[in-house]
Structure 1
Amino acid sequence: MSITLDLPPKIEGLLRQRAESTGQDISQMAIAVLTLGLSLDDNDFFEALKGIQRGLDDFERGQFSSLEDFIAEQNQKYGLSLEA
């Protein structure tokens, strides 16, 4: 089955970036993202969307952490010993 979607440029860019970074075809990545989203119950789905939007908004405002800072925070929070 074939469906054509008009994605906002921001979403298309994120989808392309994720596909490229994982070495997958953009169509395969879109299917994976849709499958994940549709597998969640309604409450989890909408909470995930809110969290994603908050993250995008923070990123646009320049409010984000480096990978090293994130790993250090998770190590401290959960008693892990991950490395970047």
Structure 2
Amino acid sequence: MDDKKYLGYMRVSSREQNEERQRIALLERGVSNDNIYMDKQSGKNFDRPQYKKMLQKLNGNTVLFVKSIDRLGRNYADLNEQW
């Protein structure tokens, strides 16, 4: 039995951008809609409400899905430090 919990994170930079492509990809990977966290704001830093909420859910039994690494953030040095 798979005891892993699947979470998904998605981000768009502006209200005009459509996040549906990311949502569809996460759902196809088996992430339930209830376990998808989304922010509509810049990826310049990690001060995002849903991102912070999602981090609190991560543990050793969690698998995090993100459509693309740039959805986590724009700066790869900051990404590396964050994770």
Q: Name the TM-score class by shorter chain.
A: under 0.3
Higher strand share: 2
Higher helix share: 1
Larger radius of gyration: 1
TM-score (norm 2): 0.26
Higher relative contact order structure (alpha carbons within 8 Å, sequence separation ≥ 6): 2
TM-score (norm 1): 0.26
